[in-house]
Amino acid sequence: MSRPSVIPPTGFPFTRPRRTRMAGWSRRLVQENRLSAADLIWPVFVIDGENEARPISGLPGVSRLTIDLLIVEAKRAVGLGIPAIALFPAVDPSRKSDEAEEAWNPDGLMQRAIRAVKAAVPDIGLIGDVALDPYTLHGHDGIVVGDRVDNDESVAALVKMALAQAEAGIDVIAPSDMMDGRIGAIREALEENGYSQTLILSYAAKYSSGFYGPFRDALGVTGASYGPQGKATYQMDPANSDEALQEVAIDLSEGADWVMVKPGMPYLDVLYRVKETFAVPTFAYHVSGEYAMWKAGVAAGYIDGNRTLLETLIGFKRAGADGILTYAALEAAELLRG
Ligand code: PBG
């Protein structure tokens, strides 16, 4: 990606960059980055029940799907050329607890969804989020002991959660919790239990962000974990980027195959540095609040939806992303096909 800068031999008027831009054919010919459906990962929220799509306030056009509808949509995604979906269970509040035991229930919603999609749509890659927030009453990604999220207790729980997903047939474990040492602990447990082929996509540089708001509504997270300081003791400070490189280095050394930077648009510099430094498969998450802003701007008539979506996604690629998680994946894939 980084090349020596080319200094033109002469200046204007011999050098006129606009010559190349004058015709569609020459603009196409020199295009440096291309976006295709193969770059997209579609995050989906799953609920219990049958034949129900439950809308999410704050995410216009996105619904939580029962497993039967999820299968229909997963087939549509495959048909559009989308390689993978990321599953997020919206579990019933009655199944939440302080210790998040539901996270490793072999018959829990997530594990059932994994088995059902794997059986019905074998061609799609399945990514499982590993963090405790869909299962805890307080909404934190880990186990709370006293007045703080306890790292090592949390890692022990995350290992159980990852194994339950692996057992159900997940292709990619994606820890999004930001506890220290969790990649190593999960990798070791996967190896010991016969899951040496399970990929780990680490949310390595995950920031403590205000852009996760609508995601909270989607999962029904009601605790204090989303306050201004809620997750700041484990998610990264938006002011930092050297620290992101350290986080990625640690996760790769512990056995992550792929890494992610999250959120997306406000962190393209971090994405660029990570890809330049490590040159491993690197993903960006165009998160719920970013999607919501885009939809709101479109609904107000301020911006052109299709155009700004494709511009956003190519921006991720230009910055170094190998793939992009976006709630607009199906919409984008349809645009790219058309
Ligand atoms: C779980 C998790 C979150 C998101 C993905 N996994 C929320 C959080 O960390 O608070 C956010 C995704 C989005 O906003 O689209 N830990």
Q: What is the DSSP secondary structure assignment for residue 126, as one 8-state letter?
A: E
Active site residues per annotation: 206, 262
Residue 232 lies in a domain: yes
Percent of the chain whose pLDDT exceeds 90: 90
**pLDDT at residue number 10:** 74
Give the residue numbers spanning the domain of 231: 36-337
What is d(CA 202, CA 232) in angstroms, rounded to the nearest whole number? 18
Residue 31 lies in a domain: no
Binding-site members are: 247
Q: What is the mean pLDDT of the chain?
A: 95
**pLDDT at residue number 11:** 84
Quote the ligand 1 centre to 212 CA distance (angstroms).
Answer: 6
User: Helix, strand or coil for residue 44?
Assistant: strand
The residue whose C-alpha atom lies closest to atom 6 belonging to ligand 1 is 176
Residue 8 lies in a domain: no
**pLDDT at residue number 15:** 87
The residue whose C-alpha atom lies closest to atom 11 belonging to ligand 1 is 212
**pLDDT at residue number 7:** 67
- Band of residue 3 on the pLDDT scale cut at 50, 70, 90: low
How many independent structural domains does the chain possess? Answer: 1
* Residue type at position 305: G
What is d(CA 30, CA 21) in angstroms, rounded to the nearest whole number? 9
Is 80 exceeded by the pLDDT of residue 222? no
Quote the ligand 1 centre to 209 CA distance (angstroms).
Answer: 9
73-92: average pLDDT: 98
Residue 10 lies in a domain: no
Percent of the chain whose pLDDT exceeds 70: 95
Min mean pLDDT across 45-49, 165-169, 194-198, 218-222 is at 218-222
Residue 76 lies in a domain: yes
**pLDDT at residue number 88:** 98
How far from chain centre, in Å, is Cα 64? 16
72-95: average pLDDT: 97
Sequence-distant (≥ 6) Cβ neighbours of residue 228 within 8 angstroms? none
- Band of residue 227 on the pLDDT scale cut at 50, 70, 90: low
Residue 73 lies in a domain: yes
Q: What is the pTM of this model?
A: 0.95
Give the pLDDT confidence of 155-197 residue by residue, as tens digits: 999 999 999 999 999 999 999 999 999 999 999 999 999 999 9
Quote the ligand 1 centre to 215 CA distance (angstroms).
Answer: 6
Residue 163 lies in a domain: yes
Q: CATH number, domain at 303?
A: 3.20.20.70
What is d(CA 91, CA 103) in angstroms, rounded to the nearest whole number? 10
Is 70 exceeded by the pLDDT of residue 8? no
In terms of pLDDT, which residue wins out, 7 or 138? 138
What is d(CA 273, CA 74) in angstroms, rounded to the nearest whole number? 33
Give the pLDDT confidence of 275-291 residue by residue, as tens digits: 999 999 999 999 999 99
The residue whose C-alpha atom lies closest to atom 14 belonging to ligand 1 is 212
Residue 19 lies in a domain: no
Binding-site members for Mg(2+) are: 247
Give the pLDDT confidence of 228-253 residue by residue, as tens digits: 568 999 999 999 999 999 999 999 99
**pLDDT at residue number 256:** 98
**Alpha-helix residue ranges (DSSP H) falling in 193-283:** 213-219, 242-254, 268-278
Residues with CB under 6 Å of ligand 1 are 129, 131, 133, 141, 176-177, 212, 215, 231, 287-288
Which residue from 91, 215, 291, 326 has its CB within 8 A of the most atoms of ligand 1, so it is best to mutate?
215
- Band of residue 220 on the pLDDT scale cut at 50, 70, 90: confident
Which residue from 41, 127, 133 has its CB within 8 A of the most atoms of ligand 1, so it is best to mutate?
133
